[in-house]
Amino acid sequence: MSGKLSRENRYSIMLKALILISSSLFFGLPIVAQFLVSNILPVAMHGDPYADTLLNTSALMKREGIKKVIAKQTSDKITGTYNSKTAYLNEHGNISACTICFPGLKRVSPGSCMGDTFLYNSRGLMIEMSSKDVKEPYLRIIAEYTGEREVKYRTIAKTVPDTMIDYKFYNEKGQLVRLKQTRKGIEADDMRLYYNADGFVDSINHRNPHWGTFLFTRKESRKTKQIEMENANSKYEWIFNQSGQCISTKMAWNKQHVRGQSRSSYKTELEIKYFYNPDGTLAEVTNKTTGKPKVTFRYSYEK
């Protein structure tokens, strides 16, 4: 590897910056993903190496005494996502370091890896995350705990000229109840989250009228619980088993409109399936996206 960023690393850093500014790192392992809903429900495993921490939680890692998690893609020829990651955990089940490797582009560049490190305070709360390629830092996230349940995140990325600031507010259960985002010193959005008695999100209200309110509906059977959410241009569905584990996520984007009437078809669809070991840890995750080969990640653990 050279000191210069390859094409895929530049993309991954920009993607990571956008993902991490909307991450929730207040309780346990970082919960990261590309949309606000990824703070509270699992999405986009193939594009976000930290999305699985909603399932492989810090509490679960601590309970099982796991010190190292390895996730490998079954085919190293599939680009557009990482092909392996190795996470090292501390005594609280939180990630202290993670190495994420990407496949190279055919006839353009070899594969490469990036390293992330996390620092915590005496209470076990994340205070800084740093991402490096070879040895130079390209991304930093600094967490400042401004209140008992309030956190200010500053994201500083070399590829993004302005520092991005997010304010997170949590309830007594550790659930995210408000996210306020500031870009270039101007408020970008202010979102509030509400939960049902079952502990799952019921609605997300955006101050920005363009986004409006996201409503989550539920369907239950004897064996599963199904949660759905649909907004102006995307649709989501999550299925949980009797043990409360998410076994499937479905997403669709780019809804088409004709004369003001929405169609039921979408240009891009993604289905993620989760498989578990007897102890509750992830065993395998599969991602199937419209028009692309299926991506499968298999997990192994060390204690």
Task: State the CATH number of the domain containing residue 85.
Answer: 2.40.160
Is there a domain that residue 67 lies in?
yes
Is there a domain that residue 132 lies in?
yes
Q: What pLDDT, in 10s, does the model give residues 89-145?
A: 999 999 999 998 887 666 555 677 888 899 998 888 889 988 887 667 778 889 999
pTM flag (> 0.75): yes
Q: What pLDDT, in 10s, does the model give residues 135-194?
A: 677 788 899 998 888 999 888 877 666 678 888 899 998 888 998 888 777 777 788 999
Is there a domain that residue 243 lies in?
yes
Is there a domain that residue 294 lies in?
yes
Torsion 105-299-236-100 (CA) sign? negative
Is there a domain that residue 2 lies in?
no
Is there a domain that residue 1 lies in?
no
Q: Domain span at residue 67?
A: 7-302
Is there a domain that residue 212 lies in?
yes
Contacts 24+ apart (CB under 8 A), 237-243: 238/41, 238/42, 243/280
Tokens 């509400």 -> residue: 194
Is there a domain that residue 104 lies in?
yes
Q: What pLDDT, in 10s, does the model give residues 204-245?
A: 888 877 777 889 999 998 899 999 998 777 788 999 999 999
Question: What's the domain count of the chain?
Answer: 1
